[in-house]
Amino acid sequence: MNRLNELFKNKKSPILSIYFTAGYPDLNSTLDIAEALENGGADFIEIGFPYSDPVADGPVIQASSQVALKNGMTLPILFEQLKDLRKRVSIPVLLMGYVNPVLQYGVENFCNKAAEVGVDGIIVPDLPMYEYESLYKDCFLGNKLSNIFLVTPQTSEERIRKIDGLSNGFIYLLSSSSTTGKDLKVSNEADSYFQRIRDMNLQNPTMIGFGISDQKSFNKAAEYTRGAIVGSAFVKLLGTENALDRVGEFLKMIRG
Amino acid sequence: MNREFIKSSVNWGVNDKGYYGDFGGAYIPEMLYPNVEELRTKYLDIIYDPSFQESFHKLLKDYVGRPSPLFLAGRLSEKYGARIFLKREDLNHTGAHKINNTVGQILLAQRLGKKRIIAETGAGQHGVATATVCALMGLECVVYMGEIDIQRQAPNVARMKMMGATVVPATSGSKTLKDATNEAMRDWINNPVDTHYIIGSVVGPHPYPDMVARFQAIISEETKAQLKEQTGSENPNIVMACVGGGSNAIGMFYHFLDDEDVRLIAIEAAGLGVESGESAATTALGKEGVLHGSRSILMQTNDGQVVEPYSISAGLDYPGIGPQHAHLFKTGRGEYVSATDDEAMDAGRLLAELEGIIPAIESAHALAHLDKMKFKGNETVVICLSGRGDKDLDNYMKHFNL
Ligand SMILES: Cc1ncc(COP(=O)(O)O)c(C=O)c1O
């Protein structure tokens, strides 16, 4: 059991997770933002490590990634910053990013280092299931890292079952097949997809992400799953002045 | 049924996991999985289908103008002391080999029931080839092109528009081919049901590299027959082609892969020089990594960020190569070399003067390597002349003060 598993085991009310890109808006803001999120009431956080070619991301996270790279953010620098993570933050922390920087860092190094600084899980959207199973799984599990898979409305039931079998944290439901930062489509179609997943009685908890930006979309997510993940809307806030002072306010706005 | 022309190489083809040795795979986010999986499970059945083959070959013949000639370049041969043939892909409709692939993929998209086509383009050649087949079939066409390339390649933008395509500027990142590819992938993520993505080279997630290779394999299939007719032997000593993503090169190599006495030479763009910091010589400068859905060799920083390449030729200005090329490079089956901007421009001019053929600057990179070769006796060489130089006249004019 890692912190993430504990959270899903113990928390009764809807869970709110926040994503931000490390190195944005400033190179050294990572831990300050994480701390502000914990103090503001986030249940867990996803720290994005930037990549030059983020195909799954919309304009907001693309732009934050570019700024972060310009600021000089790299995985070695991020891990250096995260040395003090567990002195300042107690909620679960996930790292999220694309596979190529992980490959260059070395998959084993990456897992070891993540575990060493107190990270609980990893989301790498372009790491395929086959490669995860054959090459990466042991390294993740050996370090008590949850690997988080995504599911879209087009993912087949058979594949969702397989993902459920390989997951050990939660399953990340996309509200629709889209890049990050689009508004959640509140539609009958989305409802029936969320309902379909709920009726599958998966062994892992689910969360909804992509397009969650306000109380309405958060409530919609919480109606069908354990909660929701907010990314672009928070990254947008980070781009404004004195953003850290308004993190609590932002989280209250989402949770209602 | 003609299964021959698309038979997979025994030793060098893709395996059932989508890999060529250490390279390939399908490194895609879940949002792309249903579309790519649909392709993976259906593409072979579709292209082996006799009705597909018939349509494909009929279009290649009546619309594209195939077979493209294999031309013995007499004065060039004399200059270099070898028997040099040019495979004239420049004579295809739209002026390059790119159309072989788009004809194949549009027929495939129709059989998958897709209504909307997207593509990426750098120089605009693949964009034009895609807009062309979409007009032919009456399908909606959206082409992503880097904002900077849109400015550099105005005539091709106009050609696409004239054929009814929508050209969308890619404004992210470096605003060139790699970013246009990112944008096309994002479009596909956001349109998961009715859209087919026509990738323009042997790159992308499995099955794209294999599928595009099979459509371009027509180049070497014809070459074998033409060589047999003209020389009495279907194998040359050497085949050569330029490499951006690598589709004309794979097409040129395809049916020679298992004939291991045939040397395969791939020429990358060195830009201002391999060590100049302004280059696109991927195998010289790159490391193994993942870009646009496959594991291959790519130009990147130590931290795994993709580096923006440079070449005077927009079609070779790509930071990666297809996974099959990475495999041919790593195993030594292929020889990977490079030519600079200046070397390519000189070779382009030389061909114009000696043979009355103005090549695309991409193809001129392959010609440029002739200068560095030492031929034993009267070796037979086939060079893929992947495209014509009309689109590059501006560049030639500037470079030579014409
Ligand atoms: C004439 C020509 N040759 C070669 C290329 C490079 O592509 P590939 O390496 O896929 O053949 C291009 C790309 O635009 C091209 O237009």
What is the nearest CA distance from A114 to chain B, expressed in angstroms? 16
Per-residue model confidence as pLDDT tens digits over A160-219: 999 999 999 999 999 888 898 887 766 777 889 999 999 999 999 999 998 889 999 999
Strand order in the sheet with B166-170: B166-170, B140-146, B116-121, B195-197
The values of phi and psi at residue B3, to 5°, are -85, -10
Closest residue by Cα to atom 6, ligand 1, is: B244
Q: Which residues of B touch A159 (CB under 8 A)?
A: 33
Torsion of CA B190, B193, B195, B199, to 10 degrees: 80
What is the nearest CA distance from A116 to chain B, expressed in angstroms? 20
List the beta bridge partners of residue A208: A173, A228
Q: What is the mean pLDDT of residues B106-129?
A: 97
**What is the CATH number that goes with domain B29-62+98-212?**
3.40.50.1100
**Does ligand 1 come within 6 angstroms of the Cβ of B227?**
no
Q: What is the pLDDT of residue B49?
A: 95
Cα A43 from Cα A90, distance rounded (Å): 10
As given in the structure block, the two tokens for residue A197 are: 């997943």
**Does ligand 1 come within 6 angstroms of the Cβ of B128?**
no
For residue A211, being part of any structural domain is answered with yes
Distances (CA, A) of A171 to A197, B64, B312: 11, 48, 46
Cα B350 from Cα B367, distance rounded (Å): 9
Evaluate whether A120 touches A145 at the Cβ level (below 8 Å): yes
Q: What is the pLDDT of residue B11?
A: 81
Cα of first residue to Cα of last residue in chain B, in angstroms, is 51
**Residue carrying the six token digits 């909307």:** B116
Q: What is the pLDDT of residue B8?
A: 72
Q: What is the pLDDT of residue B2?
A: 44
The values of phi and psi at residue B269, to 5°, are -90, 120
Mutation site, A21, A51, A52, A110, interface B, largest B CB count within 10 A = A52
Q: What is the pLDDT of residue A185?
A: 66
Does residue A46 have an active-site annotation? yes
Per-residue model confidence as pLDDT tens digits over B309-341: 999 998 999 999 999 999 999 999 999 999 999
Nearest CA in chain A to B295: A100
To test the ligand 1 pocket, which listed residue (B152, B218, B219, B248) has its Cβ within 8 A of the most ligand atoms?
Answer: B248
Q: Would you tell me how many other CB atoms lie within 10 Å of the CB of residue B206?
A: 25
Q: Which amino acid is at B46?
A: I
Does residue B120 have an active-site annotation? yes
User: Is there a common fold for B29-62+98-212 and B67-95+213-400?
Assistant: yes
> What CATH number did the domain enclosing A168 receive?
3.20.20.70
Nearest CA in chain B to A102: B304
As given in the structure block, the two tokens for residue A169 are: 């944290």
Q: What is the mean pLDDT of residues B51-59?
A: 97
Q: Which residues of A touch B178 (CB under 8 A)?
A: 53
C-alpha of residue B354 to centroid of ligand 1, in Å: 23
Per-residue model confidence as pLDDT tens digits over A19-69: 999 999 999 999 999 999 999 999 999 999 999 999 999 999 999 999 999
Evaluate whether B133 touches B160 at the Cβ level (below 8 Å): no
Per-residue model confidence as pLDDT tens digits over B170-205: 998 778 899 999 999 999 999 989 999 999 999 999
For residue A145, being part of any structural domain is answered with yes
**Does ligand 1 come within 6 angstroms of the Cβ of B282?**
no
Q: What is the pLDDT of residue A210?
A: 87
Look over chain B and give the mean of its residue pLDDT values, rounded to a whole number. 95
Q: What is the pLDDT of residue B152?
A: 79
C-alpha of residue B46 to centroid of ligand 1, in Å: 26
Q: What is the mean pLDDT of residues B131-149?
A: 96
Cα of first residue to Cα of last residue in chain A, in angstroms, is 30
Strand order in the sheet with A150-151: A146-147, A121-123, A93-96, A44-48, A15-21, A227-230, A206-209, A171-174, A150-151
Q: Would you tell me how many other CB atoms lie within 10 Å of the CB of residue B163?
A: 18
Q: Is the pLDDT of residue B357 over 90?
A: yes
- Of the pLDDT bands very low, low, confident and very high (cuts 50, 70, 90), residue A143 is very high
| Parent domain of A152 | 15-251
Closest residue by Cα to atom 15, ligand 1, is: B315
As given in the structure block, the two tokens for residue B293 are: 């859905």
Evaluate whether B221 touches B255 at the Cβ level (below 8 Å): yes
Cα B340 from Cα B360, distance rounded (Å): 15
C-alpha of residue B247 to centroid of ligand 1, in Å: 7
As given in the structure block, the two tokens for residue B80 are: 């270099």
What is the nearest CA distance from B260 to chain A, expressed in angstroms? 31
Q: Domain spans of chain B? A: 29-62+98-212, 67-95+213-400
Q: What is the pLDDT of residue B132?
A: 98
Q: Is B305 in Cβ contact with A69 (below 8 Å)?
A: yes
Q: Would you tell me how many other CB atoms lie within 10 Å of the CB of residue A214?
A: 15
Q: What is the pLDDT of residue B7?
A: 66
Evaluate whether A180 touches A56 at the Cβ level (below 8 Å): yes
For residue A120, being part of any structural domain is answered with yes
Cα B88 from Cα A196, distance rounded (Å): 55
**Does ligand 1 come within 6 angstroms of the Cβ of B201?**
yes
Q: Which amino acid is at B197?
A: Y
Q: Tell me which of A46, A120, A131, A191 is the catalytic residue.
A: A46
Helical (H) or strand (E) element with A151: strand A150-151
Per-residue model confidence as pLDDT tens digits over B250-277: 999 999 999 999 999 999 999 999 999 9
Percent of chain A with pLDDT over 70: 99
Look over chain A and give the mean of its residue pLDDT values, rounded to a whole number. 95
Q: Which residues of B touch A149 (CB under 8 A)?
A: 30
Nearest CA in chain B to A123: B29
Torsion of CA A118, A121, A125, A127, to 10 degrees: 90
* B256 CB burial (10 A radius; 0-12, 13-18, 19+): buried
For residue A105, being part of any structural domain is answered with yes
List the beta bridge partners of residue B298: B287, B320
Q: What is the pLDDT of residue A186?
A: 64
Cα B131 from Cα B139, distance rounded (Å): 9
**Secondary structure (3-state) at A147:** strand
C-alpha of residue A109 to centroid of ligand 1, in Å: 38
Q: What is the DSSP string of B276-332?
A: SS--B-HHHH-EEEEETTEEEEE-B-TTSPBPPP--SSGGG--SB--HHHHHHHHHT
Mutation site, A177, A189, A210, interface B, largest B CB count within 10 A = A177
For residue A170, give the DSSP letter: -
Q: Is the pLDDT of residue B95 over 50?
A: yes
Q: What is the mean pLDDT of residues B66-81?
A: 98
Cα B184 from Cα B167, distance rounded (Å): 11
- Domain tally, chain A: 1
Q: Is the pLDDT of residue B1 over 60?
A: no
Evaluate whether B187 touches B195 at the Cβ level (below 8 Å): yes
* Cβ-defined contacts of A76-82 (< 8 Å, 24+): A76/A105, A76/B303, A77/A23, A77/A27, A78/A22, A78/A23, A78/A30, A78/A47, A78/A49, A79/A113, A79/A114, A79/A117, A81/A22, A81/A28, A81/A30, A81/A31, A82/A30, A82/A31, A82/A47, A82/A117, A82/A118, A82/A119
Strands B294-298 and B166-170, how do they pair?
Answer: unpaired
> Which of A61, A15, A68, A50 lies closest to A235 in space, CA to CA?
A61
Q: Is A159 in Cβ contact with B304 (below 8 Å)?
A: no
Percent of chain B with pLDDT over 90: 93
Percent of chain B with pLDDT over 70: 98
The ipTM (two decimal places) reads 0.95
Q: What is the pLDDT of residue B3?
A: 43
CATH architecture of B67-95+213-400: 3-Layer(aba) Sandwich (3.40)
For residue B8, give the DSSP letter: P
Alpha helices in B112-153 (DSSP H): 125-137, 147-152
Q: Is B27 in Cβ contact with A178 (below 8 Å)?
A: no
Which of B186, B293, B303 is opposite residue A101, by nearest beta carbon? B303
Q: Is the pLDDT of residue A123 over 70?
A: yes
Which of A75, A98, A130 is opposite residue B17, by nearest beta carbon? A130
